[in-house]
Structures are given as structure tokens and as C-alpha cells.
Amino acid sequence: MANVAVIGAQWGDEGKGKVVDWLASRAEIVVRFQGGHNAGHTLVVGDQTYKLSLLPSGVVRGKLGIIGNGVVLDPQALLDEIAKVTAQGLKVSPENLKIAENVPLILPLHPALDKAREAARGGDKIGTTGRGIGPAYEDKVGRRSIRLCDLAEPETLSKKLDELLLHHNSLLRGLGATPFEKQPLLDALLALAPQLLPYGEAVWERLDAARAEGKRVLFEGAQAVMLDVDHGTYPYVTSSNTVAGNAAAGAGVGPDSIGLVLGIAKAYATRVGSGPFPSELHDEIGRRLGERGHEFGTVTGRPRRCGWFDAAMVRQAVKIGGVNGLVLTKIDVLDGLPELKICTGYRLDGAVVKHLPAAMRAQSRCEPIFETMEGWSGSCKGARSYAQLPAQAVKYVRRIEELVEAPVMMLSTSPDRDDTIALRDPFAG
């Protein structure tokens, strides 16, 4: 049996939570390999709705969850999330949740710097969640991070805090924000240590053993390819690599362990925050998509910008992200629209281009080229086979496959976990 990696193929919020939950029921281990609590997955199980930001989705299904070293971990956010799902009836303990001992931690100074920088940008805000993700990744690369394993060594922790505060307090003062004192931070971390350290281990060893035993592993990505810090619409991106290739580095496995790569995409397009969005709609149809799709960020609560499906952008994500097949979600939101449009490319300074350029100003000048298709009067909602879909909906899916140059392996027809059309078992390789 093969392993599976799940990544977003647009700008995030594609409905990965439901897909990962469906796949988690077939996996034995679920690994988060990048991002932080700036990402969110919503899982609907019966009459319960679970909103996860850090916990791997597998814990909802009683599977082993792993938070890999590629994640930046806010200790208090994790403990709060564990308390929240525990109140909903889930059990989370060191028995079913493991955290890489070398995972970098988000401290209170990180969101403080994040917010101060956004405020200083004025009208040029990137649109971060203000949760300190970017500054925490900067510290990781700058070799200043406090990591989970440091909580077991108070002397090491104290010395590393000195270096961290020397850097951050200089920046905070320069931005007119309040600097931090060392002792309250040190005391808080030492108080958290007994709660967090039992979860820590060398997860790479556990994953290596799982591979030897032939266990099925699901690698769970956050955000999406077009928010990748290298390949996305920079600088309006997240602070980590969101492509499937990072699953190896972010979990501690070899690249041959990733297995099949599934890219998740909505049957239309959405985006939260700032940045280019060529196929965005500012009319009644855009509002209708937002209302019918309940388009609000899981973590931020911010309304998502809505637009037509951008096949040129998804094709780009497929190529960069190494996507073997797509999962198309929320096709039922398009029910009843008399006409649908698909963006097939862009006009840029008089030329036709088939991908979003890397340069920021060029991205903002891209004008969409649309192909129009007839909508359908029937309903996709709740369909569990292609035979139950309106014929025009099937044509729409087939056209997307042609344009993005990847097969649609699964189709989601409602938020319910079982309302899924699976054309192929991803774990079958």
C-alpha cells in the first residue's frame, strides 16, 4: 500500500479537512508537516463539527497523529485546542499524539512582531493572521529558535532566550511596540514543559519503523501551493513551503516515502487576505458563491474572496506541487447557475500567458481569459457516484481535467464525509 500526501492546489481553504478525514479512516498515521495555527481544517462528523488548527486530522478518527518538525508550534494554542476537542468527546494524549522533539516553538513575542510589522505596512498589508508564523520561521532559519527539546534543559533555554530577545526587542522598539522581559517568558515556558514534553519524541524513528512495517501514512499539508513561500504569489504567501516535496523534510522521511500526491481544489476559487486573484468576482455571483459555500476562514473568520475556477493557476500548482490527481470539492455550490466560466489563461501587456508570473506587479496586471460553459439545473448535492451527477456537471469536471492536465480522482458533493465520489483508492498507489 502507498502513502498519500494531501496539499491545496489553490490558495488554501479548499475543503482539505473533509478529504483528509475521509483518507484518515484508511490510514494508520497522519502527519502535519508544515504551517502553524494559521491554518485550519473543519471536519464534520455526524452532528459534531471539529475545527482543527494544529492537531492532525487523524486524531478525530482515533489514528496516531504526528506534528512534524516542519511545523511551527504555539504551545498554548496546542493545549487550548486539545482542551477544546476533549470537551467535544475526543481523547488526545501522548498515546495518540506525537510531536517532533525538534519542532520550533512560537512564543508571545512572535505574534507581537507579526502585528507590529503589519501595522507598519499601512495600506500594503500582506494579510497575515498575526499569529507569529512568519517571525517563528525566520528564527528557525536564523538559528535562534526555541525548540520543544529545549524545554528539558533550563540552562539552554535561558541562554537561547537571551539571544532571541536581543534580536526581537530591537525590532519591536524600532516599530514602536513594547519589548519583552526575559523572566516572565522563561517562567511560562518552564511551566508548560511538563505538559508538552511527554508528547515529544524523535518522530523520524517512528515513521521509519512504520515504513518498515508497511503502515499507511497520510501527510497532511496546510495552506496551498499558490501560498508557497517560493512558488506562490510572493509576497502574499505563507512562510513555509506548502508543496508535497516539503513533506519529506517537514516530517523526517526520505522523498520516496511521500507516495501519491493529491491536490485539493474547489470547483470555483477563493482566497483569504491580500494578493492577486485574476478570476475574482465582485458581483452578485461572487456573493452567491460566498453565501452558498459558507466562505469564511476557519481560523480567521474573515470572508473569503470568491471567483471562477482558475484552471491556469491550478495547472501551475499541479506541475509545481507534483500533484498526481485532484480532489474537486464543493461542486454542489455551483448547482443552479445557468452559466459557468473557467479561467484558461491571462492577458498580460497584450500577450497571452498560461501561468501566473513571479513578479508582483506583473501578477496584478494579469487579466483572465474565460471559457464559458453551460450550467446545470439538477443537483450535485449528496451524489456518491458519477451516475447521480447532472450530465453537464460531468462535462464541467472533464473539462477541468483537460485544462489542468491531471485526473480528478475524488469529488466532494457536500460537507458530509460520506458524500464523496471516489474514482480511485489513493492508498492503492
Q: How far apart are CA 6 and CA 423, in angstroms?
A: 16
Q: How far apart are CA 257 and CA 218, in angstroms?
A: 10
On the CB side of 181, CA atoms within 13 Å amount to 3
Give me 59's grid cell: 486524531
Catalytic residue among 13, 21, 310, 419: 13
377, with CB counted inside 10 A (0-12, 13-18, 19+), is: exposed
DSSP SS3 for 424: coil
Active site residue 114: no
Active site residue 110: no
Cβ atoms of residues 7 and 426 within 8 Å:
no
Give me 150's grid cell: 529545549
Q: How far apart are CA 120 and CA 103, in angstroms?
A: 29
DSSP SS3 for 198: helix
- Region for residue 2 given its phi and psi (left: phi exceeds 0; alpha: psi -120 to 50; beta: otherwise): beta
DSSP SS3 for 101: coil
Catalytic residue among 21, 37, 41, 419: 41
Q: What is the DSSP string of 249-288?
A: HHHT--GGG--EEEEEEESSEEE-SSS--TTB--SHHHHH
325-329 and 305-307 strand pairing: unpaired
- Region for residue 76 given its phi and psi (left: phi exceeds 0; alpha: psi -120 to 50; beta: otherwise): alpha
Q: How far apart are CA 215 and CA 56, in angstroms?
A: 17
Residues known to be catalytic? 13, 41
